[in-house]
Chain A
Amino acid sequence: MRLHSPDDLKTLQAELCNNGHWTGRTLIIPAGTCGRASGANDLIRKAREELLRGEFAHLIRVRVTGCHGFCETEPSILVEPDGLFYPRLKPADVGRLVEATARGEIVEDLVWLDRETGARIPHQRDVPFFKKQRRTILSRSEQVDPEDIDSYLRNGGYSALLKALEGGDPAWVLQEVKSSGLRGRGGAGFPTGVKWEMLAKQPSTQGKFLVCNADEGDPGAYMDRSILEGNPHSILEGMLIGGYATGATDGIIYVRNEYPLAIKHLHIALEQARGLGLLGENILGTGYSFDIQVVQGAGAFVCGEETALIRSIEGQMGEPRQRPPFPIQSGIHGRPTSINNVETWANIPIIIEQGAEVFAETGTEHNSGTKIFSLVGKIRNTGLVEVPMGITIREIVHEIGGGPVGNAEIKAVQTGGPSGGCIPASRFELPIDYDGLAKAGSIMGSGGMIVMDGHTCVVDVAKYFMGFLKDESCGKCFTCRKGTQRMHEILDDITQGRGTHDQLDLLEELALVVKDTTMCGLGQTAANPVLSTLRYFRDEYLAHIDQQRCPAGVCKPLITFSINENCSGCQACAKACPADAIYGERKQRHTIDTSKCIKCGTCRSVCKRDAVEVA
């Protein structure tokens, strides 16, 4: 059923709202990749079974959506319209949950339990993780079924596109995006409106490209995956608006192939949008033509870099090239190209809908809107958090994140992935925005926020990033290829207890040259993890060098495992030890044979009495 005019679309939206209007309750089950990995599929099946069994279909519906963000607690269920949040469910819990919901009741023992106060918190909006968030984008993932365009339309989907098309003035759209102050969410923070303005000025005789960069290579960041899986139409709508504003003719979504569910949902969404005539020739009879193609990545972090991405789209090795010329002037096959991040695209329909002024009310000066961070690592409440720009790190880590997991103190957060740096706990009052983070020696990046505690060794983390980068470097620039290799070599020496002060000086010298001389962003920022950990945690490096000691207890050659007097002799560790290195009588304190010990940590993880020590 093709739509031939803006009025057709409005009629369809109205129909869906009226006919699809549901007065009962809905069980919303997040089933993104995380959800499915945690058992959401079983929950969905059980929920549907229970609805049939109890004949509750006239009272309750099930909506399967993408990620909601509180991944730590999945599989979970959200009850609409009450806003009840049921975390960490087992299939066995579903029966009584469904029955209670049918009666309009809350199942007390299944809702959120606040560890500090012991209180039960049934409503999502009151749960600490959600309370301080501003879930402009993520809340939409709760409302739509990603495999059904009707669900998107019913929730106001494609209204922003309508507004743009009916206005009839691409310049107005450009101005709105500029006034909103939206900055690229991929990491660099370049003003999106300015970029689009430059693209609009380019000639389109041979075509102009808009690209959605869904490569999301930063390890630890997965907000783009969540948006693509949970609300793919928001990206399509954003790109349609962008195409209209800039005169672009073709859209490409470059997704990394490690995201199969996102790719699947994108293809479904594209097919449905085309079917309605929202993509293709003469959209809604306005004369505007635009279509989008999905191009898959093939496992290369460097392809997140603009010029490498372009080469990958062209079917070549992902080697970056020098700029100028910039992609806006000469991109895919030499044509003007604007590359924007997934989250940037997701913000576009919101800006057009709400208006630039309202959008700019959130955030700080020069940093408007919200940002989604993936809060992972050694933190209690792991997941995706959407917060207004300007919120402090402390608020995110302690109030939303719930503080440390285990008994070690949080000592730093790492932002910006392999291109970023760490911010120590002493600077957690720092408000998060592009400029603030840059001053502290890190970058916003795509939004990965990895929490590190006393059991995380910063030298090990720096070495990890360097290992990652030397593997992902395209290898063209001598300084990047050899530089990352040699920096990794030195860091390896330090973690093995062979490091010297001369090497530390050499590491810093080399880091600065690699930063200065490499052609693309990967090499230019490769030194950041090293330089920022040296800046804030030099003493940890020195402990490795001067005392051959790893304060965090991580670097294997420098630690020994031993069993203390807490040991009850239960033999759990001895049985679990893959190297047969633990011996002892039952009910007697056990001993670890350090000559056999491979330091895998299995004994520590199975011990229930905190009897394994690492020093």
Chain B
Amino acid sequence: MNGMVSLTINGLVVSVETGMTVLEAARFMGFPIPTLCHMDGLSPYGACRLCVVEIGEAPRARLVSSCTYPVEEGLIVRTASRRVIRARKMILELLLASCPQSKIIQDLAAAHDVQQQRFRQEYEDCILCGLCVRICEEQMMAKAIGFRNRGEKRSIGTPFDLHSDECRLCGACMYVCPACQLRCTYTEPEKAVCGGCANLSPPCIEKEPFDDMMCNMTPCVACEIQKD
């Protein structure tokens, strides 16, 4: 059923196809919404919460992840209200506090004017955005990796952490990962916020040893190159 739906985004009345998400509709109209766990071609997941927008009107206005929210007739959306901005900045602070060596996260933080990170600094290699899981299942049809455990112990990996028969060493998981894709090499442990990073090549080719990265391929292409 391909009808059109009329909704209001940032005061502008727009008409889009049913079945679109609010994220798609907003971007289509040129409104920028940051995302981390979203990728065209993969099912939306709603894990990173960066894409939150404010819907409805006071006192019932609430924030929802725009990547998973379907457009509705008469919906009122604000993509950059004060509540939204406050949320995004705190989310970015939390991201910097966990994964400062990701250039994507650093760039997002800089774009949102996040100057500080007030939590205890951690250096995790994974933000559990699930892009690797989804690309492995949906695009590569392998389903070699998945989520395990829950809460703060949640992680991604192969069952039993053993070599997977389903994994075809395609490298898609590494390709989509925002944490290891473009890695900051300018990391000073005391400074969570990076000044400006020009590094563009995948760091695992240069970095040695390769042990503290999240990589689900053993051995990987980069490892092979490194050996030569």
**Residues of A participating in the B interface, judged by any CB pair closer than 8 Å:** 300, 302, 317, 322, 324, 470-479, 481-486, 489, 502, 506, 509-510, 512-513, 516-519
Contacts and interface: CB of A to CB of B under 8 A. Distances in A.
B222 to A, nearest CB: 27
Contacts of A519: 46, 49, 64-65
Given A317-B150, A478-B127, A481-B151, A486 B63 contact: no
Interface stretch (B82-90, B107-115, B187-195): B82-90
Contacts of B118: 502, 506
Contacts of A518: 49
Contacts of A485: 152
Contacts of B48: 478
A475 B91 contact: no
A475 B149 CA distance: 9
Given A476-B154, A489-B119, 13 more contacts: A322-B65, A475-B154, A476-B47, A476-B128, A477-B49, A478-B94, A478-B95, A478-B127, A479-B49, A481-B128, A481-B151, A482-B97, A516-B52
A473 B94 contact: no
A517 B49 contact: yes
A486 B119 contact: yes
Given A476-B47, A481-B128, A517-B63, A470 B152 contact: yes
A112 B31 CA distance: 71
A512 B128 CA distance: 22
B147 interface: yes
Interface in B46-91: 46-49, 52, 62-65, 68-70, 72, 83, 86-87, 90-91
A-B CB proximity, top 8 nearest: A475-B154, A513-B90, A473-B151, A517-B49, A322-B68, A475-B150, A482-B94, A479-B49
A475 B49 contact: no
Contacts of B64: 322, 519
B27 interface: no
Given A489-B119, A513-B91, A317 B147 contact: yes
A472 B129 CA distance: 19
B83 A516 contact: yes
B152 A483 contact: no
A518 to B, nearest CB: 7
A524 to B, nearest CB: 9
Given A502-B118, A513-B86, A479 B94 contact: yes
Contacts of B106: none
A504 to B, nearest CB: 12
Contacts of B102: none
A506 B83 CA distance: 16
Given A322-B69, A482-B94, A513 B46 contact: no
B46 A322 contact: yes
A470 B154 CA distance: 11
13 contacts: A322-B69, A470-B152, A474-B151, A475-B147, A476-B154, A477-B49, A479-B94, A481-B128, A481-B151, A482-B98, A489-B119, A489-B120, A513-B87
A482 B47 CA distance: 12
Contacts of B97: 482, 486
Question: Taking each of A470, A472, A506, A519, which has the highest tally of chain B beta carbons within 10 Å of its own beta carbon?
Answer: A519
B80 to A, nearest CB: 15
A470 B86 contact: no
Contacts of B127: 478
Nearest to B52: A517
A200 B78 CA distance: 35
Given A476-B47, A481-B128, A482-B98, A517 B150 contact: no
A578 B108 CA distance: 54
Nearest to A490: B119
Contacts of A509: 90
A495 B62 CA distance: 33
A267 B220 CA distance: 53
Contacts of A470: 151-152
A352 B108 CA distance: 58
Given A516-B83, A516-B87, A517-B49, A486 B151 contact: no
B150 to A, nearest CB: 5
Contacts of B129: 478
Contact of B150 (A322, A474, A478, A506): A474
Contacts of B68: 322
A517 B87 contact: yes
Contacts of B86: 512-513
A472 B149 CA distance: 10
A475 B69 contact: no
A486 B63 CA distance: 21
A594 to B, nearest CB: 29
Nearest to B62: A516
Contacts of B70: 324
A129 B154 CA distance: 45
A249 B153 CA distance: 39
A276 B61 CA distance: 51
Nearest to A503: B118
- Which of A322, A324, A517: most chain B CB closer than 10 A? A517
Interface string B145-159: 001011111100000
A322 B152 CA distance: 21
B148 to A, nearest CB: 9
A510 B94 CA distance: 9
A102 to B, nearest CB: 57
Given A486-B97, A489-B120, A471 B49 contact: no
A516 B63 contact: yes
Nearest to A519: B46
Contacts of B62: 516
A510 B154 contact: no
Contacts of A479: 49, 91, 94
Interface string B18-61: 00000000000000000000000000011111001000000000
B21 to A, nearest CB: 11
Given A475-B128, A477-B46, A519-B46, A510 B90 contact: yes
B34 to A, nearest CB: 13
B142 to A, nearest CB: 19
A317 B130 CA distance: 15
Nearest to A502: B118
A324 B69 CA distance: 8
Contacts of A482: 94, 97-98
B140 to A, nearest CB: 21
A322 B22 CA distance: 13
A512 B90 CA distance: 10
Contacts of B147: 317, 475
B42 to A, nearest CB: 15
A481 B152 contact: yes
Contacts of A483: 94
